[in-house]
Amino acid sequence: MSLMSREHIRSVIAAIEVANVEGPLWRPDGDVLNGLSGSKTVGALQRLAGLFANLSDACYLEIGVFQGLTLLSVAGATPSLPCFGIDNFSILDPEGQNLGIVHDRIARLGCDNATLINLDFQDALLSLGDHIGARRVGAYFIDGAHDYRSQFVGLMFALPYLHDNAVIVIDDANYTFVRQSTHDFLVSHPEFKMVFEAYSPAHPANMDAITLARWESDWLNGVNILVRDPDRLLPDMLPPVTANRDLFVNDWLVHRHVLAELAPEALALAAAVIAGDTAAVHDARTCLIAAYAADRPRFDARFPDRNTQSGGLTQGRFNRLSG
Ligand SMILES: C[S@@+](CC[C@H](N)C(=O)[O-])C[C@H]1O[C@@H](n2cnc3c(N)ncnc32)[C@H](O)[C@@H]1O
């Protein structure tokens, strides 16, 4: 049993405990940094990254930079630690301004240790060594796309690059499919243990102003925090998941359907029909038909259902040993 592991796990828990009471460790003067993460989440990231600040082989990594709140809060608090943030600015950026905002904030805050990786997160993780070199990720924050697969891939593809003592902070754990991916990762990787979980009553978009202000100074949309525990010192602790997996089965039913990509528009139409809102039905119907027309050749080339995307694939091939 390793004394180092025990001490490290204690340090991780102590860092989270302080963040849970005190919030951010450091924040810049004025209004240079705002964003979409809770104050306690920011404080935990800063303190957890700080555990690796004096290790020359370590770095901080995050998926989901947005306008730089978490990346630059960590980079500013731990100037000796290289901090990398992955974002392709594919959502929450209708004016296409976020890349410029991040670069501007890096310059204004003088965060020379912050590096933006402007790529899709999967591509970035598959080539992570090209970006972080021989460093290992000590503190890792996952706050990008929140579908089940993206969450799980975010955990799995980073594994070869994680530090022996890595800590993983998973944001938006209010979502059941985020918790499900954390759950599945923990069950399949028992050398990792959850050390902390916290949730709020709803997504911030569904909170009134007073409730939102209260949770913005907290963990906002929920968090799961994991630590590598190779000696299995911690007991098992799993995030709550629903026993009913119908929604995951629905993934399969949607993905194989001729109109799979139109599921969001189709659901908006269904909601308008159920609400009996004639104007909303008209608008949603117009959106659905426009989205269909925009990509019609793709839809028309498919079967009504049970599409497999297997046409043209090999009917059988082996992988053989060389020599
Ligand atoms: C909730 S925001 C991150 C908030 C940020 N951590 C903060 O503190 O303000 C989520 C970010 O994930 C990014 N994102 C979503 N899907 C992505 C993908 N496939 N690859 C890279 N980034 C992605 C979005 O562009 C968005 O900026």
Structural domain count of the chain: 2
Ligand 1, atom nearest to 34 Cα: 9
Cα separation, 153 vs 126, whole angstroms: 10
Please indicate, yes or no, if residue 192 is contained in any of the structural domains. yes
Give, using CA atoms, the residue closest to atom 22 of ligand 1: 87
Q: Residues of 81-108 as b/e, b for ≥16 C-beta within 10 angstroms? A: bbbbbbbbbeeeeeeeebbebbeebbee
Residues 170 and 291 in one domain: no
| Mutation test residue for ligand 1: of 143, 178, 220, the one with most atoms within 8 Å of CB | 143
**Which tops the pLDDT comparison, 28 or 307?**
307
pLDDT at site 31: 75
Say if residue 143 is in the same domain as residue 257.
no
Instruction: Judge if the beta carbon of residue 73 lies within 6 A of ligand 1.
Output: no
- Does residue 239 form part of some domain? no
Residues 12 and 139 in one domain: yes
Residues 201, 166 within the same domain: yes
Residue nearest atom 27 of ligand 1, based on CA coordinates: 66
**C-alpha span between 199 and 201 (Å, rounded):** 7
Tell me, yes or no, whether 288 and 177 share the same domain: no
Q: What are phi and psi of 188, to 5 degrees?
A: -90, -10
Read off the pLDDT band of 323 (50, 70, 90): confident
Centre of ligand 1 to C-alpha 321, Å, is: 42
Provide mean pLDDT across the span 134-161.
97
Q: Residue 221: count other Cβ atoms within 10 Å of its Cβ.
A: 25
Within-domain flag for 10:
yes
**212 and 268, same domain (yes or no):** no
Here the tokens at position 43 are: 């404080």
Same domain, 184 and 251: no
**Same domain, yes or no: 268 and 181:** no
- In this structure, the answer to whether residues 195 and 77 fall within a common structural domain is yes
Q: In the predicted model, is pLDDT for residue 249 greater than 90? A: yes
In a domain, 314, yes or no: no
Let me know if residue 320 belongs to a domain. Answer: no
Domain with 252 in it: 246-300
CATH number of the domain residue 184 falls in: 3.40.50.150
Q: Residue 32 pLDDT more than 90? A: no
In short, whether 2's Cβ falls inside 6 Å of ligand 1 is no
Q: What is the mean pLDDT of residues 121-130?
A: 98
Q: In terms of domains, do 220 and 274 share one?
A: no
Same domain flag for 166 and 296:
no
Query: How much is the pTM?
Result: 0.94
The answer to whether position 318 is within a domain reads: no
Which atom of ligand 1 approaches the CA of 62 most closely? 6
Q: Which residues contact 138 (CB under 8 A, 6 or more apart)?
A: 48, 49, 51, 52, 55, 58, 59, 60, 81, 163, 165, 166, 167
User: Relative to the CA of 144, which ligand 1 atom is closest?
Assistant: 12
63, 122, 146, 153: which to mutate for ligand 1, most atoms within 8 A of CB?
A: 63
Q: Which sign, positive or negative, has the C-alpha torsion 238, 139, 45, 127? A: negative
Using the atom order of ligand 1, give the atom closest to the CA of residue 70. 8
Q: pLDDT tens digit string along 5-16?
A: 999 999 999 999
218, 261: one domain: no
Beta-ladder partners of 128: none
For tokens 């980073």, the residue is: 158
Last residue of a domain, one of 228, 262, 290: 228
Ligand 1 touching residue 143 (CB < 6 A):
yes
Residue type, 126: L
CB count, 10 Å around CB of 63? 25
pLDDT tens, residue by residue, 38-82: 999 999 999 999 999 999 999 999 999 999 999 999 999 999 999
* Residues whose CB falls within 8 Å of the CB of residue 111, separated by 6 or more in sequence, listed in order: 72, 75, 76, 79, 83, 105
Q: Is the pLDDT of residue 1 over 70?
A: no
CB atoms within 10 A of CB 54: 10
| Residues sharing a CB contact under 8 Å with residue 25, sequence separation 6 or more, in sequence order | 19, 43, 46, 47, 50, 77
Domain contains 41:
yes
The verdict on the CB of residue 45 being under 6 Å from ligand 1 is: no
